[in-house]
């Protein structure tokens, strides 16, 4: 390779070395080309600084093929449009990463209770008219339905996680129809994408209401479960879902507390009950959220908060200032844990092996 790009590729190699891993072409071949998700764009072939790759048409389609000596510089893997690689493509535009916990943690809070505490603060201060959260259906225990919370007490009563899809838009549209304009909405990344469209796209109703906004609290998510499958699984284990007091998923385990004690299973055991929609989902941390919230990256009793927008930053700072949450920056090694979960989810989407 000769020309101005020669020096630039050398700079990129140094950057990759310092900031992340460098993968050889074999990894690209295994994960993207052999798995059939290559879009035949040629970015790998054309950016190889040692011209080790050729676009081979002998099979009738363009197949990037190793025809020289790969130095494992990592440039082809890093520039392929189908790899989820560095933090910006994995997690989106993270402005800063924190662990936080509520100063007065709500009894039912899932992790650090930071989501509930920040929402309560926003309601108390008049920053929002309503928070759209979830509550258990009156007919079916642990089936989430939308709840319009207008007081800190109502938000507190809705704390904790429910691991099935939640139709939260019913609450959003009802709140708007009732005249609320300033909303905060909690949801998994799939739902946050809908709210994002409703607020930012020309076809979105929130965009068309003067002065309306929907502040997005995205929950980290790798999957949710179909309600009938989850409840049947529990029943087969001798547990009635009505007796469950708490669900939690952490470290690859599903844990429950119920009136008869505690139980846990590997999440793999529940795989057949996961929602089919989740197989198509590759956004772990709600890239379109204002604040992304999860537990990975923080120790027990804390909530990880990724501040994704200026609006999210302001809300977070306000909650710290009001002393409703305490917060500390997350260390780089902990952010890598979040990267890894996001990579695992993206890799699953392609049915690739995770790194």
Ligand X SMILES: Cc1cc2nc3c(=O)[nH]c(=O)nc-3n(C[C@H](O)[C@H](O)[C@H](O)COP(=O)(O)OP(=O)(O)OC[C@H]3O[C@@H](n4cnc5c(N)ncnc54)[C@H](O)[C@@H]3O)c2cc1C
Decide which of ligand SF4, ligand X, none touches 307; Cβ closer than 5 to 8 Å per partner kind: none
What CA–CA distance (Å, rounded) separates 355 from 352?
Answer: 9
Decide which of ligand SF4, ligand X, none touches 279; Cβ closer than 5 to 8 Å per partner kind: none
- Helices 189-200 & 169-177, crossing angle to 10 degrees? 30
167 near ligand SF4, judged by CB under 6 A:
no
How distant, in Å, are the alpha carbons of 33, 35, 67, 81, 184 from that of 41? 12, 16, 18, 9, 41
What CA–CA distance (Å, rounded) separates 325 from 315?
Answer: 11
Of residues 88 through 147, those in contact with ligand SF4 by CB under 6 A are none
The Cβ of residue 138 has, within 10 Å, a number of other Cβ atoms equal to 8
Decide which of ligand SF4, ligand X, none touches 114; Cβ closer than 5 to 8 Å per partner kind: ligand X
Residue nearest to ligand X (CB): 294
Of residues 16 through 35, those in contact with ligand SF4 by CB under 6 A are 24-25, 28, 32-33
* Residue closer to ligand X (CB basis): 188 or 231: 188
Taking CA 191 as the corner, what is the angle to CA 190 and CA 195, rounded to the nearest 5 degrees? Answer: 125
187 near ligand X, judged by CB under 6 A:
yes
275 near ligand SF4, judged by CB under 6 A:
yes
Using H for helix, E for strand and C for coil, what is the string for 179-227? Answer: CCCEEEEEEEHHHHHHHHHHHHCCCCHHHHCCCCEEEEEEECCCCCECH
* Residue closer to ligand SF4 (CB basis): 71 or 136: 71
285 near ligand X, judged by CB under 6 A:
no
What CA–CA distance (Å, rounded) separates 197 from 109?
Answer: 29
Decide which of ligand SF4, ligand X, none touches 81; Cβ closer than 5 to 8 Å per partner kind: ligand SF4
Q: Three-state DSSP class for 306? A: strand
- As given in the structure block, the two tokens for residue 62 are 């363009």
The residue count for binding ligand SF4 (CB under 6 A) is 39
* Residue closer to ligand X (CB basis): 63 or 267: 267
Phi/psi for 90 (5° steps) reads: -80, -45
Select from 83, 120, 224, 231 the one that contacts ligand X (CB under 6 A).
Answer: 224
Decide which of ligand X, ligand SF4, none touches 218; Cβ closer than 5 to 8 Å per partner kind: none
* Residue-by-residue DSSP string for 230-249: HHHHHHHTT--GGGEEEEEE
Select from 84, 220, 227, 316 the one that contacts ligand X (CB under 6 A).
Answer: 220
Select from 44, 123, 134, 335 the one that contacts ligand X (CB under 6 A).
Answer: 134
What CA–CA distance (Å, rounded) separates 26 from 20?
Answer: 18
What CA–CA distance (Å, rounded) separates 49 from 16?
Answer: 14
Residues that bind ligand SF4 (CB under 6 A): 24-25, 28, 32-33, 38-44, 48, 50, 52-53, 64, 70-76, 80-82, 165, 188-190, 221-224, 275, 277-278, 281
Residues that bind ligand X (CB under 6 A): 106, 109-116, 133-134, 144, 158-163, 166, 168, 186-188, 219-222, 224, 249, 293-296, 303
């Amino acid at each position: 390779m000769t020309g101005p790009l020669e020096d630039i590729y050398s700079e990129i190699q140094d950057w990759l070395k310092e900031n992340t891993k460098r993968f050889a072409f074999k990894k690209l071949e295994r994960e993207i080309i052999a798995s059939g998700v290559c879009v035949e764009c040629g970015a790998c072939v054309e950016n190889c600084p040692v011209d080790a790759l050729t676009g081979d048409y002998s099979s009738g389609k363009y197949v990037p093929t190793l025809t020289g000596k790969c130095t494992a510089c990592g440039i082809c893997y890093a520039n392929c449009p189908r790899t989820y690689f560095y933090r910006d493509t994995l997690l989106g535009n993270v402005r800063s990463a924190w662990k936080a916990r509520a100063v007065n943690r709500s009894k039912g809070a899932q992790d650090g209770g930071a989501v509930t505490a920040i929402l309560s603060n926003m309601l108390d201060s008049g920053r929002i008219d309503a928070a759209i959260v979830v509550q258990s259906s009156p007919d079916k225990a642990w089936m989430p339905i939308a709840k319009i919370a207008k007081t800190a007490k109502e938000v507190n009563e809705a704390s904790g996680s429910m691991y099935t899809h939640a139709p939260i838009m019913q609450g959003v549209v009802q709140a708007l129809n009732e005249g609320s304009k300033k909303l905060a909405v909690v949801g998994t990344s799939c739902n946050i994408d809908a709210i994002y469209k409703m607020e930012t796209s020309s076809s979105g109703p929130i965009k068309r209401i003067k002065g309306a906004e929907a502040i997005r609290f995205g929950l980290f998510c790798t999957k949710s479960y179909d309600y009938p499958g989850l409840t049947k699984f529990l029943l087969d284990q001798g547990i009635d879902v009505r007796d469950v007091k708490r669900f939690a998923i952490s470290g690859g385990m599903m844990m429950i507390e119920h009136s008869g004690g505690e139980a846990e299973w590997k999440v793999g055991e529940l795989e057949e009950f996961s929602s089919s929609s989740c197989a198509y989902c590759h956004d772990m941390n709600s890239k379109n959220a204002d604040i992304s919230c999860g537990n990975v990256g923080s120790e027990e009793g804390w909530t990880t908060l990724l501040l994704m927008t200026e609006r999210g930053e302001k809300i977070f700072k306000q909650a710290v200032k009001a002393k409703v949450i305490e917060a500390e920056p997350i260390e780089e090694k902990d952010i890598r844990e979040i990267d890894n979960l996001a990579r695992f989810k993206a890799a699953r989407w392609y049915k690739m092996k995770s790194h």
